[in-house]
């Protein structure tokens, strides 16, 4: 009987190993275009970004990664009709005029109780704003682009 219990325990433990390894391989992943997850994350970020820029925006992702309950987005900003953002009505007007804004947004979001929340975002960063976000916010390092 004891041998049966030990065998059952070993089998149960072995059943969890592939699941954890599979999850690790899928972290990070990019939500598929058109997926509900992708739309929800972008819509969550869109609220503060549009408020700050005082206009509707569309995100054109350059790097979009999700790992467990964390998401990182690096995206170009444009208007819904595809035209560039009108920077003249934003707080970034001077930075754009001086060539110090590439028109990107970088953001870190986290899902809590099934809802995505913006932890931090930067528009027109002059460097790599996310370089310390893993340490500062406890986000998985795998989310972020590798620095060369």
pLDDT single digits (tens) 118-140 = 999 999 998 899 999 999 999 99
- Whether 63 maps to a domain, the answer reads yes
Q: Is omega for the bond preceding 28 within 30 degrees of 0, making it cis?
A: yes
- Inform me whether the pLDDT recorded for 35 exceeds 90: yes
Q: For residue 68, how many other CB atoms are within 10 A of its CB? A: 15
Q: How confident is the model at residue 17 (pLDDT cuts 50, 70, 90)?
A: very low
Residue 15 lies in a domain: no
Q: Identify whether 114 is part of a domain.
A: yes
Count of domains forming the chain: 1
Q: Is residue 107 part of a domain?
A: yes
87 in a domain, yes or no?
yes
Q: Which domain holds residue 95?
A: 30-143
Query: Does 52 map to a domain?
Result: yes
pLDDT of residue 25: 54
pLDDT band of residue 6 (cuts 50, 70, 90) is: very low
Instruction: Decide if 9 is inside a domain.
Output: no
**Left (φ > 0), alpha (ψ -120 to 50) or beta: where does 102 sit?**
alpha
Q: Is the pLDDT of residue 15 over 60?
A: no
- Higher pLDDT, residue 25 or 94: 94
Radius of gyration of the chain (CA): 20
Q: What is the pLDDT of residues 39-58, one digit of tens each?
A: 999 999 999 999 999 999 99
């Amino acid at each position: 009987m004891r041998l049966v219990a030990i065998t059952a325990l070993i089998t149960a433990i072995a059943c969890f190993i592939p699941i954890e390894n599979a999850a690790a391989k899928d972290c990070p992943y990019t939500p598929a275009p058109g997926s509900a997850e992708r739309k929800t994350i972008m819509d969550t970020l869109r609220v503060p970004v549009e408020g700050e820029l005082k206009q509707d925006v569309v995100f054109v992702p350059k790097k979009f990664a999700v790992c467990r309950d964390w998401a990182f987005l690096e995206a170009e900003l444009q208007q819904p009709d595809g035209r560039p953002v009108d920077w003249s009505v934003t707080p970034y007007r001077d930075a754009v005029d001086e060539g110090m804004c590439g028109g990107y947004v970088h953001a870190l979001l986290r899902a809590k109780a099934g809802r995505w929340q913006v932890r931090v975002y930067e528009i027109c960063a002059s460097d790599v704003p996310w370089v310390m976000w893993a340490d500062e916010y406890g986000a998985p390092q795998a989310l972020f682009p590798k620095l060369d």
